[in-house]
Structure 1
Amino acid sequence: MKNLELFSQRQILSVSDLVAQLKKHTEGRFNFIWVEGEISGLARPASGHLYFSLKDDKSTLRAVFFRNRAGYLRFKPENGLKVLCQGKLSVYQPRGEVQLVVDSMEPRGSGALALAFEQIKKRLAEEGLFDQERKKPLPEFIRRVAVITSRSGAAVRDFIEVLHNRFAGIEVAVFPATVQGEKAPGQIIEALKELSQWDWPQVIVLTRGGGSPEDLWAFNDEDLARAIADCPLPVISAVGHEIDFTISDFVADHRAATPTAAAEMLAQPMAVLAQNAGGLEKRLLAAGQRLINQRRLALTSAVKGLSDPSRGLIDKRLRLDDLMMRAAAGVNANCHGKRKTLYQFEQGLHQKRPDRRLAHLKQKNTELGFRLLDALKTRLQSDRGRLENLKASLKALGPQAVLKRGYALVTGPDGKLLRQADPGLVDKEIKVRLAQGGLKARVEEIDT
């Protein structure tokens, strides 16, 4: 029987003890593992942590990706996405549940950068940020351009060189900003805000030279894309080489394949305009010269027909000089008119800018506020005067004021005011209320 008792002895563990041992052995054994599976049941609570399950065709494993690590992802986890997770196994003691605590995650089948790019592109396209209808055209006459780029990069040198070679009349202001790394999107966004508030630039060019997808990733930032869309000035995106595409290229008002292509895009219309103006000036000068030649020919014919060649020669010379001056003045006036028209177009575009209209409306709103405040003060003073007059009238008509004029209030034995002489009051006591104090009296006789 003793042997049977030995075999029948049992080691009894509480649930907490068993789960604690399971947690100890599991976490010690599976401290660094890679698990591949499909995301399912993804949840994003307000804490910022990611809770989901990894599953394959046979099993499911709970997983958690804490916010401090998930914030480094360059793509957005989604249900149905196949991923490779690195982490450690843990046991959540309150429920005795085994879960994978994820330290890093990468998509399977496509790169993280490519996936993040497609996710951002799809989301912004659905919001309409890529629609052609919302994009702003370039000004017809471009004279001032602001460039956001690295001060030391080759892109800005190439841009300025090509721009001035094509058309030297465009001024360029360089706004230096970091164009690579984690700080780049924030600096570029700040540059866009400052340039939007500056009255000088007509166009903003966002540019940098080529590089790897990682080097160009700052221009795929979602906040930067929204800042470009919200910019009131036309924005040209000229990032990388011809084969490089970034989110800024899709959301910008215009895309140039390279920095030099952006310079040609800006300079070409102005160069054509200058060329046309030069051709027009040459045509005007040629027309003036033809007119002068015709006049000279007519003068020569007239001189030949004269019997005395010297007669009227002075008048003809004066007439010729007058025609030459008028022709030159006409050419100059025409050129001046063209320049004036060009200037008026530029000033008209400058006056129609939204920020000037907004400033005028803000000033008008402030003036209306002051006028409303003055009106309220005047109305309040008027109402106070009326209130004082009503108080004075009420005081003058009150019982106390009447008593002060020599009247009295008389009440009978029942305390009610007496309004007529009642014979029933004989030998009854009455009270008389005066302005100061009162009297008690007895009625001896009624006088009707």
Structure 2
Amino acid sequence: MTSSSYLTVKALTKYIKRKFDADPHLRDVYVKGELSNVKMHSSGHIYFTLKDDGARINATMFRNQAAKLAFKPEEGMQVFIRGDVNVYEASGVYQLYAQTMEPDGIGGLFVAFNQLKERLQKEGLFNPNFKQPIPQFPKTVAVLTATTGAAIRDIVTTINRRFPQADILIYPTLVQGAGAAQNIADNIYLANRHAFCDVLIVGRGGGSIEDLWAFNEEIVARAIFESRIPIISAVGHETDTTIADYVADLRAPTPTAAAELAVPNRQELYQRVLAKKTQLHQMVVGQLNFERSRLTKLQQSYPLATPDRLYRPFIEKLVTIDTRLANGAQLYLMKHRNGLEKLSASLKIHSPQASIQFSKRQLDAITQGLTRAAYTHVDQQKQAFAGMIRTLEALNPLSIMSKGFSVTYLDKKVVKSVEELSDKDKVKIQFHDGVAEAKILSTNKKGE
């Protein structure tokens, strides 16, 4: 055979590819198997191998299809794939081009939910230490939900019934469909920037996992975690659980329950106040009765019933002592009258009053002397100061210049000699009352 009878590799590969393209059984194929060698390319494409116990096939999922996956394909995961089988000409191998992919046994959304939950839990977003307390008596409650539907009506009705003192601020929010997760996160950040409310209810009514999926998005979870305002999640019914429930500061089983957790019950508060009032009244009455009983017992006791019997002996003793002291003092005065009179005279001479008068006279004398010395010193200083003023005035150049003298400057320098000047020099002449400018016409040196 001649060389022209041989096919090129490219031609053979193209022929095989046309066979694959023409075979309807290789289009829209449903295949199940185990993922292996999964590579998430930076371009967004996913490259992997699909295998079972008997064989394996290379597979590719392009970026447009991969972006629609709700979960992340992982090594060893059993999956269902729908796609086309064709030949990759560059390498000459056939491979599976996946259009859709679902986990085997459980839904893709459930896998995505568990994957995100595990990752955020490792990061600490569910840690109870980061949970903020819900204020007991909020002034303003903000609600992030759709303005249509039963959820907003249930929340508003419950708050107005339980605690009408609280203001309600509504942030209209998409809670389902494309862009819902971003809108929920944006409104959480907006509420924090406004800082008008004390607590924030984020949620919606019930629905399928697809309907509630916006509350399972990572962007919503991080917005809730970063919120400085305490958040109560109220997504779906009691059996529904979302990522938002794990991150929120408090989880409510329903929107109505969220409203009940956000505000106190006015009637319950009133009943508690009445109970405390009754309890306080009973305590006061009981204490008064106890003290009144004690007072009655004290009043009926022996000392208070007949007090004169207690202090009568002491009065008699005091009268006896008083009489004895009076008699003793009279006898002492009679015996020592002369000595007491001399002592009184001596005390008058050396009494504290006499010493104070003497010291006062000395102080007055010293004060007068200091005053005179101060006036003399001031006069001397005034005279010395006047002499210094007269000397300064005599040495003042302006005073000398007033007698007809002047000072000549050339280029801001004092001219001390005619030799420093030349014809046509411009000079300034300082008089005692001003300055004049002049021009040198000629100079005559001494001796000329």
TM-score computed with the length of structure 1 as normaliser: 0.59
Q: CA deviation at 1:279?
A: 5.2
Residue of structure 1 aligned with 2:39, choices 30, 39, 43: 43
Query: Which whole-Å CA distance do the structure 2 matches of 1:129 and 1:224 have between them?
Result: 12
Question: Aligned runs of 1:250-261 on 2, under 5 Å?
Answer: 250-261=246-257
Residue of structure 2 aligned with 1:27, choices 4, 10, 21: 21
Percent identity between the aligned chains? 41
Q: CA deviation at 1:24?
A: 1.4
Residue of structure 1 aligned with 2:59, choices 60, 63, 71: 63
Query: Which whole-Å CA distance do the structure 2 matches of 1:42 and 1:219 have between them?
Result: 28
Misfit runs of 4+, over 3 Å? 8-11, 269-290
Query: Which whole-Å CA distance do the structure 2 matches of 1:282 and 1:13 have between them?
Result: 105
What do residues 58-104 of structure 1 show as CA deviations (whole Å, max 9, x unaligned)? 11100110111110111111111111111111212121121111111
Residue identity in the other structure for 2:132? K
1:14 lines up with 2:8 in the alignment: yes
Change (3 A) 1:289 1:58: closer
CA contact (8 A) 1:141 1:270 kept: no
Q: CA deviation at 1:126?
A: 1.4
1:181 lines up with 2:160 in the alignment: no
| Secondary structure at 1:200 match in 2 | coil
What do residues 23-66 of structure 1 show as CA deviations (whole Å, max 9, x unaligned)? 11113212221111111000012111000000011111001101
Q: CA deviation at 1:141?
A: 2.7
Change (3 A) 1:271 1:42: farther
| Secondary structure at 1:101 match in 2 | strand
Aligned to 2:410: none
CA contact (8 A) 2:232 2:262 kept: no
Change (3 A) 1:289 1:198: farther
CA contact (8 A) 1:149 1:208 kept: yes
Structure 1 gap ranges (5+): 291-448
Aligned to 2:291: none
Residue of structure 1 aligned with 2:168, choices 166, 169, 172: 172
Change (3 A) 1:267 1:112: same
Residue identity in the other structure for 1:12? Y
Question: Aligned runs of 1:77-96 on 2, under 5 Å?
Answer: 77-96=73-92
Q: CA deviation at 1:9?
A: 10
Structure 2 gap ranges (5+): 287-448
| Secondary structure at 1:206 match in 2 | strand
Question: Aligned runs of 1:124-139 on 2, under 5 Å?
Answer: 124-139=120-135
CA contact (8 A) 1:209 1:258 kept: yes
Aligned to 1:119: 115
Query: Which whole-Å CA distance do the structure 1 matches of 2:140 and 2:192 have between them?
Result: 13
1:107 lines up with 2:103 in the alignment: yes
Query: Which whole-Å CA distance do the structure 1 matches of 2:41 and 2:210 have between them?
Result: 30
Change (3 A) 1:18 1:195: same
| Secondary structure at 1:268 match in 2 | coil
Larger Rg: 2
Query: Which whole-Å CA distance do the structure 2 matches of 1:91 and 1:265 have between them?
Result: 61
| Secondary structure at 2:263 match in 1 | helix
Range moving further from structure 2, 9-18 or 178-187: 9-18
Query: Which whole-Å CA distance do the structure 1 matches of 2:136 and 2:171 have between them?
Result: 23
Residue identity in the other structure for 2:155? F
Q: CA deviation at 1:255?
A: 0.2
CA contact (8 A) 1:142 1:270 kept: no
Residue of structure 2 aligned with 1:155, choices 151, 170, 174: 151
Change (3 A) 1:192 1:271: farther
Aligned to 1:141: 137
What do residues 6-30 of structure 1 show as CA deviations (whole Å, max 9, x unaligned)? xx99941111111111111113212
| Secondary structure at 1:23 match in 2 | helix
Residue identity in the other structure for 1:161? T
Residue identity in the other structure for 1:58? G
CA contact (8 A) 1:159 1:260 kept: yes
Q: CA deviation at 1:216?
A: 1.0
Query: Which whole-Å CA distance do the structure 1 matches of 2:124 and 2:174 have between them?
Result: 28
Q: CA deviation at 1:269?
A: 6.8
Give the number of equivalent residue pairs: 284
